[in-house]
Amino acid sequence: MTDALIIFLATGLVSMSAALSAGALNKLPEADKPAYIQNQNGLVTVMVLGNLAAITLIGALAYGFSRLDWWIPLSCVFITFPVVHFVIIQRLLGDLKNVFVSGVLAILSIPVLWWFW
């Protein structure tokens, strides 16, 4: 139970954080976008990381629902993960840096979820 909870919390948090940051960067007006994503390659990289993170979040939720009580993943996806992202992670790293840090961690979460499933 404890291992499943830690795996779910870690993989779900980084996945949601990367997906939320990628979405926030995509919604910025062209004038406010960081220089990295003003060209096509940077924008594609951010969107691919965000989409992979969103798919990993779905996998983390499936893992959480299969291993934990139903209310734990449900409350985490609607309350805990967004609050931790907006209050702590986004303020510490910013959106662009967070996409790469959390995005890489979300990609590394895929084999972790696969292994412990």
Q: pLDDT tens, 53-104?
A: 999 999 999 999 999 999 999 999 999 999 999 999 999 999 999 999 999 9
HSE-CB of 88 using CA atoms within 13 angstroms: 8
Instruction: Using pLDDT thresholds of 50, 70 and 90, give the confidence band for residue 1.
Output: low
For the chain, domain boundaries: 2-116
Instruction: Using pLDDT thresholds of 50, 70 and 90, give the confidence band for residue 2.
Output: low
Burial class (CB within 10 angstroms; exposed 0-12, middle 13-18, buried 19+) of 55: middle
> pLDDT digits over 7-32, tens only?
999 999 999 999 999 999 999 998 89
**How many Å apart are CA 17 and CA 22, to the nearest integer?**
9
